[in-house]
Amino acid sequence: MRELVRELFAGDEAWIVGGAVRDHALERPLVDLDVAVREPKQAARKLAKRIGGAPFLLSERHGAWRVVLEDGRTVDFTPLPGTIEEDLAKRDFAINAIAERVGSDETVDPYDGYGDLAGRRIAAISDDVFRDDPLRLLRAVRLEDELDGFCITPATEELIRRDAALVTHPAGERVLAELLRLSPAGYRRLDELGLLAPLGGEIDDRLDRWDSPEYRLAAVFGKGLRRLPVSNELRRFESALRRAERPGESARSIHRFRRLTEPWALEALAFVDALDLRDAVEEARRSDPSEPLVRGDELGLSPGPEIGRLLAEIDEERAAGTIASKEEALDYARRHTGTVREDG
């Protein structure tokens, strides 16, 4: 990506800025490249023409354009109306406020970002960085969480605590994107710095029981997760976890647990501290029949909830081992039509 940009823009005033410089210096994989230029739209078109892609406006407010490469990585072009020093002065942390001029060895590092990279420090470049964009409160923690051995400086911690109440101000989509990248340690750091409670989150021992971003969100926010712009799938996931209760060891109990929680039965086991039953759930999954013993239209009943009830009970009896054939299933239906089956 850097070679391609150098080839196309070495003769222009173009600067590689922000996280791309940071990650290159840390020898981390480069996924996104940010380039500050005088004419972002024209630069994006030039790159897109070279690779056969299509540029699109990334931010009408900020005038940024993006080009997506074939492998999914992106190059963003942001406007440079003034000097590169003025551009860097609007950024958040010193490690993100370094610029390298395309096609030369010139580097601009007004806040000693390279020094902070060497010292593994995350330091705000001014007292107003979080007030200018409160999302940076979360970004500071996420960077500390992602970058091996990095720590937020004490002075920057003080600024975070001072401005913690602002953490609810950014758009929900931006907040969610940062939260999805946090490890359990990242969530604990949010809590320690006073950022989690304003967002409606709370930490308990469930946080560490399963390793997935979605599980951590559900474990930390519970019903409050719905205040964020999460997908319907994530809402269903959180509801499944909340419905879960520790099952017994019997095949019947495992079946009932799975009915309430699948396809997230393992995550639900973790949520209720029952991963000792993981083998039982996985064995039940492997034993799932490919076809039902009977279909609803074979029960001889009028359409309605009675059919669904009977089919669910037949599936449970099959899982428990009391029914094994179609004839036994139909016999069960005849014996239980119109009755309320005792829970046993």
82 falls in which pLDDT band (50, 70, 90)? very high
| % pLDDT > 90, the chain | 79
Instruction: Tally the C-alpha atoms within 13 A of residue 110's C-alpha that lie toward its C-beta.
Output: 16
Banded pLDDT at 132 (limits 50, 70, 90): very high
What value does the mean pLDDT of the chain take?
93
Q: What is the DSSP-derived secondary structure letter of residue 71?
A: T
Task: Work out the angle at residue 106's Cα, subtended by the Cα atoms of residues 140 and 125, and round it to the nearest 5 degrees.
Answer: 25
Q: Which residue has the tokens 């950014």?
A: 170
Is residue 77 helix, strand or coil?
A: strand
Stretch 219-231: mean pLDDT = 93
CA distance 7 to 282: 54
pLDDT for the residue 96: 96
pLDDT digits (tens, 9 = 90+) for 83-120: 999 999 999 999 999 999 998 989 999 999 999 999 99
d(CA 131, CA 137) in angstroms, rounded, equals 9
pLDDT of 339 higher than 80:
no
In 10 A of CB 222, how many CB atoms? Answer: 16
Binned at pLDDT 50, 70 and 90, residue 1 comes out as confident
What's this model's pTM, rounded to 2 decimal places? Answer: 0.87
**How far, in Å, are 22, 293, 296, 313 from residue 290 at the CA level?**
52, 10, 16, 17
Q: What angle in degrees, to the nearest 10, is found between the helix axes of 232-243 and 213-221? A: 60
Q: In this predicted structure, what is the pLDDT of residue 35? A: 95
- Work out the angle at residue 213's Cα, subtended by the Cα atoms of residues 212 and 216, and round it to the nearest 5 degrees: 85
Integer CA distances (angstroms), 222 to 53, 96, 159, 169, in order: 41, 34, 29, 21
1-119 homologous superfamily: Beta Polymerase, domain 2 (3.30.460.10)
